[in-house]
A and B are shown apart, each in its own frame.
Chain A
Amino acid sequence: MKRWVKGLLATAAVLGVGLTIAGCSSKKAADSSDTKTLTMYQIGDKPKNYDALMAKTNKILKKKANAKLKINYIGFGDYAKKMSVIVSSGESYDIAKADNYVVNAQKGAYADLTKLLPKYASKAYKSLDPAYIQGNKVNGKLYAMPINANVYRTQTIAFNNSYLKKYNIDISKVNSYKTLEPVLKKIHAVEPNVVAFKATKGFVAESGFDYPLTDKMPFAVDITDGGNANKIVNPYDSARTQTNLAYLHKFYQKGYIPQDAATNSKEYGLSSKTWFARQELVGPYDYGNQALSTASGEKNGIVTKKISTPLKTTGQAQMFNWVVSNSSQNKELAVKVLGIMNSDPELLNGLVWGEEGDAWEKTDQKDKIKLLKGYAADRSMGAWMTGDNSILYTTTDVTDKMIKERKDSIASAKTSPILGFNPDTSKIKTQITNIQNVMNQYGDQLNTGTADPKPTIKKMNKALKTAGYDEVRAELQKQYDKFRQSK
């Protein structure tokens, strides 16, 4: 017995020493110079000219906040896994792109920014659409500095314009899966080897719902006009969903959707000619078809048709959140730096467009720029994942009229009834885990049209029931009722 205690003490001692060493080293690093260097974790690949981009950024940061920023990049595929290790090991980073924002916020991984943001980043905070603040509140507190960008989204069907022109296909009547069918039929007849409708693993049919958890989980609120927005329901029970899925199943059977859609995660790049139609979310900063066409590499390469109304959702609000670590030693400073990144046009445009003079140059018009040869995706940072899009310069392709439209559309877009409803799932995580598995089994089959919806939904609902669907729905409804009352 004694020996066992001794062993435990020895182990504890070893661990203690290790921790002290770790603690010392991090403190030393922070104290070593007057200008503090903040550590940031970002998703994606490091830009090739990272050093040049950061040199300019750090110059501004040093002047304005006496701080420097060091960005560590983690690839898209690894980010969730590595970040969860970094978070749970208590590594003291300062800023990161949020991963699994609501759950980690509930678990205390992030610093509470409710008071810090208005105080240390007031300019950026004020520039945010209110939907961002509302949508990121967890238990009434704000844990993120969201990036002001596509605050609403419209579900659209995007068409490869080259095929439309080539075969003179009319898409003016498309506004649903039903009206899409004749168009797909036409293209499949002439181009059987082109994927008529791109649906791959992870595709979710648009049926007029918003989801308090994720769109992969069968808990939703009806957001159509005249729908009951007070009740959390299973979207697969609705006639609307079932009709849409039946159309998708038809697409699949006719060969419009690839045979391995449910397991395939192929990209079918926007710039390629391998596809004819696909589902794309479009937001205000996409300036209509502009962003998609740019990605396709052709002017007017892609045209879109709306199949839903614009909606400000929690998902959009949480599209890209910067968070400050709860274990950071420099929380205020981190908030200050985030504030500068989201309000200083010189800094932000220098990152998003790349190096001035090499990638772009200013024009006579205010806030309008011309892209130069040096502009490249891997020599700049993505706008959606860096800072406030409303202070970005625009290219001369974007007219003042388009900017006005953008502003008007944001103002007029509807807000989802569940915006800001971030439920606490800690009491029902067992059931949620099981439901997640059920949905992994059926979700892709149904949404890609691989499976016949009626019998499959029946089977799925049976499995959901034993996985604890009713308890989760009741718990979510309870929290949702509370949420609505507090609004």
Chain B
Amino acid sequence: MQGVNSTVKAKVKYKKRHPSFASRFKSNLPLLLFVIPGAIWMIFFFYIPIFANVVAFQDFHFSAGGFLESLRTSSWVGFKNFEFLFSSNAAWVITRNTLLYNLGFIVLNLIISVFFAIVMSQLRNKRLIKVYQTSMLLPYFLSWVVISYFVYAFISPNQGLINSLLTGSGGKAISWYNAPQYWPFILLFIGTWKSIGYNSILYFASAMGVDPTLYEAAEIDGANKWQQIKHVTIPALVPLMTLMTILAIGNIFRADFGLFYQVPQNSGSLYNVTSVLDTYIFNGLTSTGDIGMSSAAALYQSFVGFVLLMISNAVVRKIDPDSALF
């Protein structure tokens, strides 16, 4: 017993004898230099502002001495700033909408972008792949305002393309911006359409990294195209799929503001299906302009996101440690 213990100790001692900080610093200097700009940026724009979250628990008042002085002199109000998120009927609606839409996006994005990535990875024509990729990626770079006009061109009640087709074929025009029943589909479709190109390129890159002899081996083993995809391509994409999903779950309480505000043109009659946390916060706080409440809302979203991310990561770590984020 003692013998075992002493060897363990010796091992630990040996392990601890790594090079001094100075020498490690010196040997890694070029790498550290690369890191410096990003690190400084992170410190100033992410880590220092974290302290300003105290404003979420304050009744913020301006003071002549600037922001920090204002922070110091404002009075504490505890969780009062958070109340508006939970105190009305809307709380249930916005939470439901935010969660369900984001769940929808996570699932749709995953399935469809993996699907397109696989389709592209099976294409032989390099030039065609470039064309597909570019055309799929284009919406990702468009602003929501621009997209909202595209959508308007299709579903404007008077001159919209779809209503023209409907009335042209003898149907009745639909007042889209007053018809909530269609919007879950419109929003899911447009949100997915916008982000699909970006995501599928990530998956495509991953799919292209698969050793081509694996496909040959599978072909000889008698696997058809579908079986090759199922047993070779998809397993190769699983780690990335898990990673992206964990990250998306971390953002599940953060809705894409532009999608839910610009595209439905903030139409009141659609609020039941388009109101999400972000638009609710925006609509409620632009008039009062209360920093405390805005910060409270953002902190709430971040906190819930953080908790969900930790949980989902823990679950993944339990099932497949290799795919976990940390």
Tell me the A residues contacting B by CB distance below 8 Å. 11, 14-15, 19, 80, 84, 87-90, 100, 103-104, 107-109, 214, 216, 258-260, 262-264, 326-327, 425-426, 429-434, 436-438, 440-445, 450-451, 463, 466-468
Contacts and interface: CB of A to CB of B under 8 A. Distances in A.
Contact of A103 (B87, B89, B289): B289
Given A262-B178, A468-B88, A327 B60 contact: no
A84 B289 contact: yes
Given A90-B62, A430-B80, A441-B271, 13 more contacts: A87-B62, A107-B60, A108-B62, A216-B287, A262-B269, A430-B83, A436-B283, A436-B284, A437-B275, A437-B283, A440-B266, A445-B268, A468-B87
26 contacts: A15-B68, A19-B66, A84-B289, A87-B62, A88-B67, A88-B291, A90-B62, A100-B289, A103-B289, A107-B62, A216-B287, A258-B158, A260-B156, A263-B177, A264-B265, A327-B62, A429-B288, A429-B290, A430-B83, A430-B84, A431-B87, A433-B84, A437-B88, A440-B283, A445-B178, A450-B269
A326 B64 contact: yes
Given A437-B283, A441-B268, A327 B66 contact: yes
A103 B87 CA distance: 22
A11 B293 CA distance: 25
Interface string B215-245: 0000000000000000000000000000000
B294 to A, nearest CB: 10
Contact of A327 (B51, B64, B177): B64
A468 B80 CA distance: 15
Contacts of B63: 90, 108, 326
Nearest to A8: B51
Given A90-B70, A262-B177, A450-B178, A108 B267 contact: no
Contacts of A425: 288
Contacts of B53: none
Interface residues of B, number: 47
A468 B266 CA distance: 23
B43 to A, nearest CB: 8
B284 A434 contact: yes
Most chain A C-beta atoms within 10 Å of own C-beta, residue among B61, B62, B285, B286: B62
A218 to B, nearest CB: 13
A88 B284 contact: no
A426 B291 CA distance: 12
Given A437-B280, A440-B266, A468-B88, A90 B288 contact: no
A350 B140 CA distance: 49
B285 A107 contact: no
B175 to A, nearest CB: 6
Interface string B167-209: 0000000010110000000000000000000000000000000
Contacts of B68: 15, 19, 90
Contacts, number: 140
B88 A466 contact: yes
B90 interface: yes
Contacts of B271: 437, 440-441
B175 A327 contact: no
A468 B91 CA distance: 13
A433 B285 contact: yes
A441 B274 CA distance: 11
A445 B66 contact: no
Interface string B90-117: 1000000000000000000000000000
Given A259-B175, A430-B87, A451 B62 contact: no
Contacts of A442: 268
Contact of B62 (A109, A434, A450, A468): A109
A80 B158 contact: no
Contacts of A436: 283-284, 287-288
A258 B267 CA distance: 15
A89 B67 contact: yes
Interface of B: 47-48, 51, 59-70, 80, 83-84, 87-90, 156-158, 175, 177-178, 264-269, 271, 275, 280, 283-291, 293
B88 A15 contact: no
A434 B269 contact: no
- The 9 A-B pairs of least Cβ separation, nearest first, read A90-B66, A433-B284, A263-B265, A259-B157, A434-B88, A441-B271, A430-B84, A441-B268, A263-B267
B47 to A, nearest CB: 8
Most chain A C-beta atoms within 10 Å of own C-beta, residue among B80, B177, B268: B268
A466 B88 CA distance: 6
Contacts of A451: 269
A109 B291 CA distance: 13
Nearest to B160: A260
A100 to B, nearest CB: 5
A285 to B, nearest CB: 28
A431 B284 CA distance: 10
Contacts of A19: 66, 68
A260 B88 CA distance: 28
A11 B48 contact: yes
Nearest to B155: A260
A467 B83 CA distance: 11
Contacts of A104: 62, 289
Given A90-B69, A440-B271, A11 B51 contact: yes
A430 B85 CA distance: 8
A11 B291 CA distance: 23
A312 B293 CA distance: 34
B62 A262 contact: no
Contacts of A90: 62-63, 65-70
Contacts of A438: 88, 90
B177 A260 contact: yes
Contacts of A434: 84, 87-88, 90, 284
A98 to B, nearest CB: 12
A262 B284 contact: no
A209 to B, nearest CB: 18
B251 to A, nearest CB: 23
Nearest to B90: A437
Nearest to B284: A433
Nearest to B294: A84
A352 B53 CA distance: 44
Most chain B C-beta atoms within 10 Å of own C-beta, residue among A441, A443, A451: A441
Contacts of A468: 87-88
B8 to A, nearest CB: 29
Contacts of B51: 11
A431 B65 CA distance: 31
B157 A260 contact: yes
B281 to A, nearest CB: 9
Nearest to B292: A429
B262 to A, nearest CB: 11
B288 A103 contact: yes
Contact of A467 (B62, B88, B267): B88
A132 to B, nearest CB: 23
